[in-house]
Amino acid sequence: MLNVYTPDNEKYNNIDKSKFVLVQAEKEIHDAKFETKAVGFFKDAAMRFIRSKISVVALIGILFILFLAIFGPGMNEYGYNDQNLDYINLPPKIPVLAEYGIFDGGRVLQNRRVDGLDDTSRYPEGCILRVFNEREVKGVKMCDIEVDYYKYAGIPEDVVFWFGSDYLGRDLWTRMWRGARVSLFIAFISVFVNVFIGIVYGAVAGYYGGKTDMIMMRITEIINAMPQLVVVTLFILFFGTGILSIILALVVQNWIGTARMIRAQFYRFKGSEYVLASRTLGVKDRVLIFRHILPNSIGPIITRAMMAIPGAIFTESFLAYIGLGIRAPESSIGVLLSQGQKVMQQYPNQVLFPAIMISILMISFNMLSNGLRDAFDPTQRGA
């Protein structure tokens, strides 16, 4: 027979109560103390982020572009709206590089009459670098020539445009960084608003489910059904062109994607055991949503937000392409790209530089978002 203590077991009733002593009455009861300082979620993430070199490089890249977007326009003597009709559509000329034959202000001019090449009023002395592709058209001798365009256009020696100039003789370097500033502003604001609305909306719909979800999702479908162009045109009709209309146009439908994604994430996690456990412990809905379930989605949210930034810049450039861009004479990446596309074969530099810049920016954002995502991923904690 097993000796088990029960209140009515006589065997134990006779023991003197004073014999019982609390073993740890004098000591504090606690777990073993942490040797190191506690690491918070964000600090932990930051540590992991720094460990990834490529993310740091990406961050530096973004900071570099941001730096140029802020200070670039002030780096030469031109203002973003300084016009000079004598300096229209010049090719890029960068003094140091020019000595090596790149960005030296050269350009090929096609279809020139051979007999007109000696005319110094049209071709100032020394401007023709190369004559090639001689041929005959309609009985006229024609050729292509390569010229030093700065000399050809009669531009003083000390005037240079690093990235060339546009159809009003404005400096493209200045306009590009000014444009980067505007575009990034539009993109950040709109993406921030989109993600914010998307998270709240998606979280509520996904968490509560049932009828709430049904109705909320149908509302998004209705909003999504209106063609973007119609929505934008109406905004412009009511608010005029400008940053406000463009941001509104970018916000009005684009949050829906985020909302759907967050909603799906909620469906995925709300049935998890830990959520169930928290709920049985009486944790409030609000806390469950934002504290317990949402952090699981931080990875996809960051990825999405980073992707949304080029998306916003493209939508802006599409609007510029169909003529509803930012208010002139302000510059933006979208305006430069869509203008550049139209003259891509004539003046490739006008689209090349903005495209390179946006690519660098996006590569950096991409790498950064990879780094951030890994850093924030709770499953990698401590790894």
- DSSP 3-state of 132: strand
Query: Tokens 């229209």 sit at which residue?
Result: 88
Residue 281 found at the interface with another protein (CB under 8 A): no
Nearer to another protein, 224 or 290 (CB): 224
Question: Which of 163, 207, 235, 255 touches another protein (CB under 8 A)?
Answer: 207
Nearer to another protein, 139 or 282 (CB): 139
- Min dist CB 65 to another protein, Å, is 12
Query: What gap in Å lies between CA 374 and CA 10, rounded to an integer?
Result: 64
Residues 46-85, interacting with another protein (CB under 8 A): 52, 54, 81, 83, 85
Strand pairing category for 106-113 and 140-148: antiparallel
Burial 104-135 (b: 16+ CB within 10 A, else e): bbbbeeeebeeeeeeeeeebeeebbeeeeeee
Question: Which of 267, 278, 283, 295 touches another protein (CB under 8 A)?
Answer: 267
Cβ contact 363:61 at 8 Å: yes
Per-position x/- string for 228-247, each x denoting binding to another protein as judged by CB under 8 A, each - no binding: -xx--xx-xx--xx------
- Min dist CB 263 to another protein, Å, is 9
- Min dist CB 120 to another protein, Å, is 16
- Min dist CB 126 to another protein, Å, is 20
CA-to-CA separations, 303 to 8, 65, 258, 298, in angstroms, rounded = 66, 20, 11, 9
Residues 298-327, interacting with another protein (CB under 8 A): 299-300, 303, 307, 310, 314, 317-318, 321-325, 327
Selected range binding another protein among 11-19, 23-31, 67-75, 363-371, rule: CB under 8 A: 363-371
Residues 109-138, interacting with another protein (CB under 8 A): 109-113, 116, 137-138
Cβ contact 333:317 at 8 Å: yes
Strand pairing category for 128-137 and 140-148: antiparallel
Residues 135-174, interacting with another protein (CB under 8 A): 137-140, 142, 167-168
Amino acid at 369: S
Question: Which of 65, 249, 259, 361 touches another protein (CB under 8 A)?
Answer: 361
For 218, phi then psi, to 5°, come to -65, -35
- CA neighbor of 120 nearest in space, from 154, 144, 75: 154
- Min dist CB 323 to another protein, Å, is 3
Nearer to another protein, 142 or 159 (CB): 142
User: For the chain, first and last CA: distance in Å?
Assistant: 52
- Min dist CB 260 to another protein, Å, is 7
